[in-house]
Amino acid sequence: MAWDSGAVPVIVLTKADLCADLARRLSEIGTVACGAEVLVTSSLSEDGWTSVRKYLGRGKTVAFIGSSGVGKSTLINRLLGWDALATKGLRNDDKGRHTTTRRELIVLPEGGAVIDTPGMRELGIESADFSKAFADIGKLAAECRFRDCTHSGEPGCAVRRAMDEGLLSAERLAAWKKLKKEAVYEGLNSRQIESEKFSVMFAEVGGMKNARKFAKEINKKRHGY
């Protein structure tokens, strides 16, 4: 989504001081980073946030997007040099507090601007082009024996072979499948989405037409009409 918009996506891991096994986390994120650079920050140290600066400057605008309580506002305060934005920690259940309630554009002293956004739980699919985010899977899929391979156990599947050889993680393939599934509903209204879901649901019996026919036959046997 970010690549298709023309923006440069960057994954920022905040509060690194709270992570007991940073190397493992970086390894996990690397499998789903979709080509984006991964930065590690900590607002407790003087230089723990400077890695973000290379993406800032005159003529550049950076939007910080993430769940509540992950440290977006705190990071922006460090970049500004003063506490311009209110911040709060996590609740007792480790869920974020909604401190930021509106989007705010802030001009940085050294040039450029940042946008602070309210916490969000998820983003919808805007584009179904996975050529950049999942270029590795696309390349492997082109080597599968069958053009319509679903990578779920078909013979000659290059994607599954890469997983068996440790070249592709199961988590990355699962993320690709999830986004592909969501992309099916892109641009559809609520009625069309429901229709598409039913089509997928009844695909094994030949689609909606055969499903209705099957339902009628069941009703005839059950009720005698």
Distance, in Å, from the CA atom of 100 to the CA atom of 119, rounded to the nearest integer, reads: 7
Distance, in Å, from the CA atom of 23 to the CA atom of 40, rounded to the nearest integer, reads: 11
Structure tokens at 201: 């649901």
In this structure, whether the domain defined by 2-116 belongs to CATH 3.40.50 is answered with yes
Distance, in Å, from the CA atom of 113 to the CA atom of 117, rounded to the nearest integer, reads: 13
pLDDT of residue 164: 93
Quote the pTM value.
0.54
pLDDT of residue 127: 53
Centroid of chain to Cα 68:
16
pLDDT of residue 97: 46
DSSP per-residue string spanning the chain: -HHHHT---EEEE--GGG-S-HHHHHHHHHTTSTT-EEEE--TTSTTTTGGGGGG-STT-EEEE---TTSSHHHHHHHHHTS--S----B-TTSPBP----S-EEEE-TTS-EEEE----S---------TTTTHHHHHHHTTSSSTT--SSS-TT-HHHHHHHTTSS-HHHHHHHHHHHHHHTTTT--HHHHHHHHHHHHTGGGTSHHHHHHHHHHHHHHHH--
Domain boundaries, the chain: 2-116, 135-223
pLDDT lower than 50: segments of the chain: 90-98
Distance, in Å, from the CA atom of 59 to the CA atom of 44, rounded to the nearest integer, reads: 29
pLDDT of residue 91: 44
